Amino acid sequence: MKYVEIPEKKEPNPKNDNRKEKSSRQSPGSGPWLWGIIAAVVFLLLINNFLAPAITERAMMQTDYGTFIAKVEQDSVKQVVISDNQIIYTTDHCTYRTGPVDDPHLVDRLLAAGSPNKDGKIEFVKKINNQRSPIIDFLMWWILPGLLFWIFYRAMFRRIGRSSADGGGLGLGNFMSFGQSGAKVYADTDIKTRFDDVAGQDEAKASLQEMVDFLHNPKKYTALGAKLPKGALLVGPPGTGKTLIARAVAGEANVPFFSMSGSEFVQMFVGMGAAKVRDLFNEASKKAPCIIFIDEIDAIGKSREGTFSNNDEREQTLNQLLTEMDGFEGDKGVIILAATNRPDSLDKALLRPGRFDRRIQMELPDLEGRKAIIQVHLKHVKHDTIDLDVVGRATAGSSGADLANIVNEAALRAVRQGKDAVTTDDLEESVETVMAGEQRKNAVISPAEKRIIAYHEVGHAMVAAAQSQSAPVHKITIIPRTSGALGYTMQVDEGEHFLYSRQELLNKIATLTGGRVAEEIICNTCTTGASNDIEQATNLARAMVTRYGMSDRYGMMALESRGNTYLDGGSRLACSDSTAADIDNEVKTIIAQAKDKAAALITERLDKMHAVAEYLLEKETITGEEFMSILNK
Ligand code: ADP
Ligand code: MG
Ligand code: ZN
């Protein structure tokens, strides 16, 4: 007789099922996929534990205990497997099953009975339960793979499936409301930003000040029958302080601030984004007066027209947003701010009155603005008296974010040099660091190359200085930078420029060609160092022809349509192929003429070129004043 122990197939374990469900309740709002996984696990459990055994057992013929005993006594049974809840036995032809009966003589009967087997005995087996604890089994087969799956998903969809900060309790009852919005609720005290922290941008501040006033004192407005705009759209290039000013509004108004980024609405599943929008507005109306801020709204507010790839999710989210904005009464005290740097791509429906009807333009700061921004950021830094004018002029075209970065770099530099306060020098140096990278002091450059670099840079400066309208040089340096620049000429605009005349642009192009011209005339060579100059000159010349209407041939004809004005979006030629070829010729002529002009200017001043280049090779850096004094000798 064999007595074998076969590990039994898993039995249904309702206790474990409960635990699974409980644990899922404890982690609410971790995203729809988690629910999906839980559903899948429960489904698998059901299949494994109830359905599969039921199917295999159904296939076996069931007999009663009497028949079983009768068959045993007829010696037709070959094998018996006894488990706690059933007995499975095999005869010559078939496998049957029967319910167990508390029969103390069963073993005796089986032993006594003969069988057609060789040894004349029935082979019978008592099936015993798993030695492994069912809990370990459960962990191994269900929790572990589930966990791996979960980690995988988490890594893949971290951005989208951001878990909510304030999701309420979630039972199975409100399974459908899993899209609890992830909007962070900032308490009043959370926001320390004030309008004072935003330098410049006075028009934007004035416009927003009205909204703050409304939140403080709505009666003043409603008494007169005035309705305040529901929403304002902050528009401007990156880094101009849109996010900052929105926070300042909330800080000034001292109301809750719901801040969400447009991309947070775009979910993997259709309908989730819309649910989030609904949640956000629900929550906000409970906390009114308050401010809702949707950063980078273009992620959901992109125009629905003209896209070939249909994005249902984004469209639904946008529709929900439009509906919610309509549903708000103006006097409820919920103000919706949104920020974008791609206003041209926004859906028209978002911009109509009653929605984001106020448009607040945030522009790159002018000289005064830059000085003010530097001052704001210097407040947090120990510093000597700073010549703001110098730094302000050197940072033309920088955004607020650039300036904040420059001040911080200056502070870092001061620390590196063991100073206890930031000086103007630090700021000037950090302007260059931010624009061109760190100095590469130990880069080895051969004397021959150094000479070419020096003449190249002096060439730019000389042409710039020779053309009266060109801005005077501020500084020339041939210290290589980590950005790859081997040297550069910093030109400083005297005043703020909003317009450029045709002549100024032509002068600019001539200045750009000056580097290469000097290489050719003096060093008798041409190098790759001019690639950036060439690119800039070409872009400028092309823009003159296609966008600024400055060519004789085409006059005021738009030959190009621009993509985005704030991001350097590409532009598309809007003309026939033959015109496109013509444009190239036109561009070529403009640059060639500019180059001829530069060559003439440099040839006239060869002595001065040599003098400045020598000085530069010796000192590596030459300031505008030194340059001019050599020039005027
Ligand atoms: P964006 O317009 O891209 O949202 P941010 O508001 O995020 O720009 O600005 C980034 C950082 O730049 C701010 O945290 C702030 O330090 C600085 N900054 C930008 N504009 C200003 C400004 N007008 N005044 C002071 N700091 C500014
Ligand atoms: Mg921003
Ligand atoms: Zn150059």
**Can you give the pLDDT at residue 165?**
34
What backbone phi and psi angles, to 5 degrees, belong to 335?
A: -110, 135
| pLDDT of amino acid 513 | 95
27 CA to centre of ligand 1 in angstroms = 36
Confidence of residue 9 (pLDDT cuts 50, 70, 90): very low
Please list the residue range(s) of the chain that carry CATH number 1.10.8.60: 367-434
pLDDT surpassing 70 at residue 254 = yes
For the domain spanning 367-434, the CATH number is 1.10.8.60
Average pLDDT over residues 365-378: 91
Q: Does the domain spanning 60-131 belong to CATH 3.30.720.210?
A: yes
Q: How far is the CA of 338 from the centre of ligand 2 (A)?
A: 10
* Separation CA 585–CA 538 (nearest Å): 12
Q: How sure is the predictor about 488, in pLDDT bands with cuts at 50, 70 and 90? A: confident
Model confidence at 319, pLDDT cuts 50, 70, 90, reads: confident
Could you tell me which residues come within 8 angstroms of residue 35 by beta carbon, excluding any fewer than 6 positions away? 24, 175, 178
Atom number of ligand 1 nearest to Cα 372: 24
CA of 276 to the centre of ligand 1 (A): 27
Q: Give me ligand 2 centre to Cα 496, in Å.
A: 26
Of the candidates 367, 257, 346, 366, the one whose C-alpha atom is nearest the C-alpha of residue 304 is 346
237 lines ligand 1 (CB under 6 A): no
Q: Give the model's pLDDT for residue 632.
A: 83
Whether residue 256 is preceded by a cis peptide bond, meaning omega within 30 degrees of 0, is no
Residue labelled with tokens 């534990």: 49
Q: Does 238 contact ligand 1 (Cβ within 6 A)?
A: yes
Question: Which amino acid residue places its CA nearest to atom 27 of ligand 1?
Answer: 400
Residue 279: CB partners within 8 Å, gap ≥ 6?
179, 180, 181, 183
Whether 378 lines ligand 1, by a CB cut-off of 6 Å, is no
What's the mean pLDDT when you consider all of the chain?
78
Confidence at 397, pLDDT banded by 50, 70, 90: confident
Please say if the pLDDT value at position 345 is more than 60: yes
Mean pLDDT across the stretch 189-213? 85
Tokens linked to 494? 């005297």
Q: Is the beta carbon of 259 within 6 A of some atom in ligand 1?
A: no
Summarize the confidence of residues 260-280 as an average pLDDT.
Answer: 76
Q: Which is the CATH superfamily of the domain at 447-631?
A: Peptidase M41 (1.20.58.760)
User: For 592-605, what is each residue's pLDDT tens digit?
Assistant: 999 999 999 999 99
Ligand 1 atom, smallest distance to 200 CA: 23
In Å, how far are 35, 38, 42, 46, 202 from 49, measured between CA atoms?
A: 21, 16, 10, 5, 69
Between CA 49 and CA 335 the distance in angstroms is 54
Report residue 68: phi and psi, to 5°. Answer: -55, -50
Give start-end residues of each CATH 1.20.58.760 domain in the chain: 447-631
- Residue 23 confidence (pLDDT) above 50: no
Q: In which band, very low, low, confident or very high, does the pLDDT at 542 lie, cut at 50, 70 and 90? A: very high
Most confident of 119-133, 199-213, 255-269: 199-213
Backbone phi, then psi, for 548, in 5-degree steps? Answer: -95, 0
| CA-201 nearest atom, ligand 1 | 23
Confidence band, pLDDT 50/70/90 cuts, at residue 129: low
Task: Please give the pLDDT value at position 510.
Answer: 94
How far is 15 from 24, CA to CA, in rounded Å?
15
Pocket test for ligand 1, best of 244, 263, 293 (most atoms within 8 A of CB): 244
Backbone angles phi, psi at 241, to 5 degrees: 100, 25
Q: Which contacts of 554-563 are long-range, i.e. CB under 8 A and separated by 24 or more positions? A: 554/579, 554/583, 554/586, 559/583
| CATH T-level fold of 195-304+311-361 | Rossmann fold (3.40.50)
Give every CB contact of residue 27 below 8 A, 6+ residues apart in sequence: 34
What pLDDT sits at residue 537? 95
What does the pLDDT look like over 412-460, one tens digit per residue? Answer: 999 999 988 999 889 988 888 887 777 777 778 888 889 999 999 999 9
**Which residue spans of the chain are classified as CATH 3.30.720.210?**
60-131
Angle between helices 202-216 and 242-253 (to 10 degrees): 30
| Amino acid symbol at 512 | L
- CB–CB of 279/180 below 8 Å? yes
Distance 234 CA to ligand 2 centre (A): 10
Residue nearest to atom 5 of ligand 1 (CA): 241
The pLDDT of 134-138, averaged and rounded, is 79
Q: Whose CA is nearest to atom 11 of ligand 1?
A: 401
- What b-and-e string marks burial along 441-459, b requiring 16 or more CB atoms within 10 Å of the CB? eeeebeeeebbbbbbbbbb
Strand locations in 403-486 (E): 473-477
Ranges for all domains in the chain classified under CATH 3.40.50.300: 195-304+311-361
* pLDDT tens, residue by residue, 156-170: 665 444 333 333 333
**CA 600/CA 598 separation, integer angstroms:** 5
160 lines ligand 1 (CB under 6 A): no
**Of the candidates 172, 175, 135, 143, the residue with the CA atom closest to the CA atom of residue 44:** 143
> Residue 98: beta bridge partners?
87
Could you give the residue numbers annotated as active site? 457
Confidence of residue 401 (pLDDT cuts 50, 70, 90): very high
Ligand nearest to C-alpha 294:
2
